[in-house]
């Protein structure tokens, strides 16, 4: 497959010339407003979706617990993912949308900060842990649930500017 101009000029920033893992030095970058949006989904049986929406899951309110877990995870991203910078998050929001037709819960996380590096990993971590929390809370009634489609949807701020899927 031929390389595009953009892919041939880019390099991995977390690897040094000797192939060792290294944390990117952002000390000379200006602080700018950063925002990122990530999404994912948990597919499940129709009955499971009904138990969630009717608040009949034995472990409690699935959406509020998953929301808190996602927010807490975003705040701990630098502890979970090697080489991620610790960020002073200004805001993390995690929201859910029930899609009965496709038997799934859609998850969206928005993260914001003023900093020297992006907040994409925090948004992705929030979605991932919210999805894992939904699975954990519902696994007693549906072990066949599938966590899927976790992806960055958009980011703003910094030298690279705005990006949208």
Catalytic machinery residues: 136
Whole-number Å distance between alpha carbons of 19 and 144: 40
Measure the CA angle with vertex 27, ends 21 and 32; round to 5°: 115
Q: Residue 95, SS3?
A: strand
Q: What is the CA radius of gyration of the chain?
A: 18
Q: Which stretch of DSSP H or E encloses residue 138?
A: helix 120-138
C-alpha separations of 165 from 39, 43, 133, 134 in Å: 11, 22, 26, 25
99 φ/ψ angles, rounded to the nearest 5 degrees: -115, 90
Tally: H helices and E strands in the chain: 5, 5
């Amino acid at each position: 497959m031929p390389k595009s101009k953009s892919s041939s000029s880019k390099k991995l920033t977390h690897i040094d010339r000797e192939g060792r893992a290294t944390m990117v030095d952002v000390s000379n970058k200006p602080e700018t407003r950063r925002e990122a949006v990530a999404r994912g989904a948990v597919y499940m049986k129709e009955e499971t979706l009904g138990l969630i929406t009717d608040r009949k899951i034995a472990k409690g309110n699935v959406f509020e617990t998953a929301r808190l877990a996602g927010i807490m995870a975003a705040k701990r991203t630098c502890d979970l993912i090697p080489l991620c910078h610790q960020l002073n998050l200004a805001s993390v929001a995690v929201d859910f949308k029930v899609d009965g037709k496709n038997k799934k819960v859609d998850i969206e996380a928005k993260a914001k900060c003023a900093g020297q590096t992006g907040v994409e990993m925090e948004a992705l971590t929030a979605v991932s842990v919210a999805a894992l929390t939904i699975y954990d809370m519902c696994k007693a009634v549906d072990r066949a649930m599938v966590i899927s489609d976790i992806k960055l949807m958009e980011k703003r701020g910094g030298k690279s500017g705005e990006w949208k899927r």
